[in-house]
Amino acid sequence: MNNYLEELNEAQRDAVVNTEGPSLVIAGAGSGKTRVLTYRIAHLLKNGVPPSSILALTFTNKAAREMKERIAKIVGSQTARYLWMGTFHSIFARILRSEAEIIGYPSSFTIYDTQDTKSLLKTIIKSMKLDDKTYKPGLVYNRISAAKNNLITPTAYLQNTQIREADQASRMPRLAEVYKEYARRCKNASAMDFDDLLLQTNLLFKNHEEILAKYQQRFKYILVDEYQDTNFSQYLIVKKLALGHENICVVGDDAQSIYSFRGAKIENILNFRKDYPEFNTYKLEQNYRSTQTIVDAANSLIEKNKRQLPKRVFSENAEGEKIQVIGALTDNEEGYLVANEIIDTRMNHQHRFADFAILYRTNAQSRIFEEALRKRNIPYKIYGGLSFYQRKEIKDLLAYYRLAINVKDDEAFKRVINYPARGIGNTTMGRLETYAVQNNQSIWEIASNPDECQTAGLNAGTQRKVAEFIHMIEGFASQLTSMEAYELALQIASESGMLKEFYKDKTPENLSRYENVQELLNAIQDFSLNAKEEGRPNQLNNFMEEVALLTDQDTDKEEDFDKVTLMTVHSSKGLEFKNVFIVGLEENLFPSGFSGTLTGAELEEERRLFYVALTRAEENAWLSFAKQRYRWGNLEFCNPSRFIGEIDEQFLNLKSGGLQAHLPRRESVPPAKEEATTRRSPMGIRSQQGNEHLGKRLTRMNEANRQNAAAFAGSDPEEIQAGMFVEHQRFGRGKVIAIEGTMPDRKAKVFFPNAGEKHLLLKFAKLKIV
């Protein structure tokens, strides 16, 4: 395809063809930033730039894959294959592996995931005899992570009086020691956590100029998507690499910066201007994703944030439907109402399930929706939470693989030394670990040495059992390079005794575990086949590298083809769906925390998060809340989120049925319709009074909804029957062909001369008998 430049508007094309020098694209949601990045790469390739000299950093692996596919369509897959494209973590893990030796790691270092990290921290906190109610592993992890992302090493941490004072204030004065011990243990285990991947890259570039120079020369063009969410560590890596040629293009939207809790810094955008005073800037203002209503509603919300760069976003798409607000009495009812809306909308718009997404603030909210969807037989897929790779049986088997690749991996060692049971108990493990820590070595180094085992206090019988285990792992390790990924994976699953564990007793739980393991093996087989076809290395460690760096969005499977998506708002960044439900819109949930205690900056971040959620929608958006919800085991009464009230009300449809007529009229006037650009400018800030009105309306709406829901459960009041003539608001007159199901799911099959055959849920369709 050669007319790719014609698929861009003028501003986008400008940003694509001016490939030299620093470029900054800060623009609103859906304005084509990712598209610009993609086409810019294609353009570079078309103009003869070798793919291996282009470095593109994306937010998820999935985004990278999709960009690559698009580029392959323009320039051919042979060329696209050699691009350096992926998340910061995956790209720099790759670089670290090839330079590992110089920083004192083997190239086979393990990447500890959050669970490994927390488990190690727990061990350390316990062994230092600290109170884990004060030194909560999650909290400690966040503090260490923040330090790493600001390039503060354990030594620097110890010397930083400001941080030490903060630790004192939060009653964790020994955090510096925990950090130091954690770093030491990771090193002994030849392991890096996610933050280390960035920290170590920075250290590598700082301490080894020749290596930095090599990569500066290699990557002649650098591109970064979602730049607003880079942290200091990432910012610095990019800055160092771009030094010299300065062919760096970053795209982002400050209004979508949602990771400040992980250290992302909006200032990176401002720094860009300082770092590259000669930069080009491109304004993308047209949103191609969403209806005018959604874009304008999102604008009216985000302008409540004080801290933001001025920008304009408008849409020339259809005006579209208003945003529906659904009030439910309880969280269960919220799930029920959302499921109903999905069925109804899917039918009326001929959409697929995959066109729907349910976005929530926290993973825990998914359960209610899962239940509601299951009851209605609506297929769904869920991202994040306890993902496939976090399941116990999967982690166990992966631990065998990890250990075969890096025998020093302590967390993997501890996981499988006695699984399946080999008579090596906690006491033995405790002795080995304590001895290893004292001697600054990994557990493996002790366990594989009979003399050390003896000194550590293991008796002869236990020593024999440990030796057998060591021997088995050595056997696996020795085949890493000679066997293909799948063959070896299968062999380990079987010889480790794991597969046998599952058919020992055939409980449904074991069956499901067995199936999960099969699924993992299938994934490895797929990997093997693809790698072979594409001439990529096809060993178990290559597969494991990919697994270690999966993000929430990356767990798509083929059978997930037509399913409703459930995910947190955080994971939805960069994605788009025809229909989006933003649920749990209540104070203290979204905005999260105890809203009363949020600082101004925190509240603004919550608002940006809501902005991200709303701007995922292409055609329809729903906002839902419940009046009562179970949280932490208690039934809580909730108030609708202030964010609903912050959207200009002209874009909202409060689904309150007959109540609508009694509601106070709004004083605001719809914007003028003459010109697309001015028409879409957001309305002025609404008065406090306006919000109060809305608050009251929302409360009353709850009541109306509750009554509606009660009516759903009863019989069909209108008694529509086959053969009758009916009238529908949109489809006009039609004839009922059949009635199916019982209330509340009773449906009418109706033939409308103007719209064809439709299946309508009676409780929503409001059919009038004519």
Catalytic sites, residue numbers:
33-34, 225-226, 256, 616
Distance CA 195, CA 183 (A): 12
80 belongs to an annotated ligand binding site: no
Among 423, 396, 540, 411, smallest CA distance to 114 is for 411
- Tell the residue number behind the tokens 């925190």, with chain if given: 602
Alpha helices, DSSP H only, in 264-365? 267-275, 292-302, 331-349
User: Which residue of 4, 11, 12, 62 would you call a contact of ligand ATP, by CB under 6 A?
Assistant: 12
Stretch 263-322 residues interacting with ligand ATP (CB under 6 A): 288-289
Peptide bond into 450 cis (omega under 30): no
Total residues contacting Mg ion (rule CB under 5 A)?
A: 3
339 belongs to an annotated ligand binding site: no
Neighbours of 526 (CB within 10 A): 14
- Taking contact as CB under 5 A, which single stretch among the options 29-37, 156-164, 637-645, 681-689 is the one that binds Mg ion? 29-37
Nearer to ligand ATP (CB atom), residue 288 or residue 764: 288
Nearer to Mg ion (CB atom), residue 201 or residue 256: 256
Q: Cα 420–424–425 angle (5° rounding)? A: 105
- Taking contact as CB under 5 A, which single stretch among the options 33-41, 122-130, 277-285, 523-531 is the one that binds Mg ion? 33-41
29 belongs to an annotated ligand binding site: yes
What backbone phi and psi angles, to 5 degrees, belong to 128?
-90, 5
8 A C-beta contact, residue 183 and residue 157:
no
Among Mg ion, ligand ATP, none, partner that 35 touches (CB below 5 to 8 angstroms by kind): ligand ATP
Total residues contacting ligand ATP (rule CB under 6 A)?
A: 18
* DSSP secondary structure string for all residues of 183-240: HHHHHHTTEEEHHHHHHHHHHHHHH-HHHHHHHHHH-SEEEESSGGG-BHHHHHHHHH
Q: Strands across the sheet with 732-740, in order?
A: 756-761, 747-752, 732-740, 725-728, 768-769
34 belongs to an annotated ligand binding site: yes
Could you give the string, one character per residue 240-259, with x where binding to ligand ATP holds by CB under 6 A and - elsewhere? -------------x--x---
**Shortest approach of ligand ATP to residue 34 CB, angstroms?**
3
Those residues with Cβ within 8 angstroms of residue 247's Cβ, 6 or more apart along the chain or in another chain: 19, 20, 21, 22, 220, 221, 222
Could you give the string, one character per residue 36-55, with x where binding to ligand ATP holds by CB under 6 A and - elsewhere? --------------------
Among ligand ATP, Mg ion, none, partner that 366 touches (CB below 5 to 8 angstroms by kind): none
Contact status: 150 vs Mg ion (CB under 5 A): no
Nearer to ligand ATP (CB atom), residue 317 or residue 628: 317
Among 465, 519, 492, smallest CA distance to 400 is for 492
Distance CA 373, CA 334 (A): 11
Distance CA 502, CA 514 (A): 6
Among Mg ion, ligand ATP, none, partner that 253 touches (CB below 5 to 8 angstroms by kind): ligand ATP
Distance CA 474, CA 482 (A): 14
Distance CA 104, CA 588 (A): 47
Continuous segment of H or E residues that includes residue 330: strand 323-330
Nearer to ligand ATP (CB atom), residue 150 or residue 257: 257
Among 329, 387, 384, smallest CA distance to 358 is for 384
**Shortest approach of ligand ATP to residue 298 CB, angstroms?**
11
**Shortest approach of ligand ATP to residue 250 CB, angstroms?**
12
Among ligand ATP, Mg ion, none, partner that 8 touches (CB below 5 to 8 angstroms by kind): ligand ATP
User: Which residue of 31, 34, 348, 705 would you call a contact of Mg ion, by CB under 5 A?
Assistant: 34
Among Mg ion, ligand ATP, none, partner that 289 touches (CB below 5 to 8 angstroms by kind): ligand ATP
8 A C-beta contact, residue 726 and residue 680:
no
255 belongs to an annotated ligand binding site: no
**Shortest approach of ligand ATP to residue 35 CB, angstroms?**
4
User: Which residue of 34, 108, 315, 448 would you call a contact of ligand ATP, by CB under 6 A?
Assistant: 34
601 belongs to an annotated ligand binding site: no
8 A C-beta contact, residue 362 and residue 568:
yes
Stretch 636-665 residues interacting with Mg ion (CB under 5 A): none
Contact status: 29 vs ligand ATP (CB under 6 A): yes
Half-sphere exposure of 407 (CA within 13 A, CB side): 17
Nearer to ligand ATP (CB atom), residue 41 or residue 499: 41
User: Which residue of 11, 15, 32, 647 would you call a contact of ligand ATP, by CB under 6 A?
Assistant: 32
8 A C-beta contact, residue 641 and residue 587:
yes
Stretch 600-629 residues interacting with ligand ATP (CB under 6 A): 615
Contact status: 574 vs Mg ion (CB under 5 A): yes
Binding site residues, ligand ATP, CB under 6 A: 7-9, 12, 29-35, 253, 256, 288-289, 574, 576, 615
Q: Which residues bind Mg ion (CB under 5 A)?
A: 33-34, 574
The annotated binding site for ATP is made up of 27-34
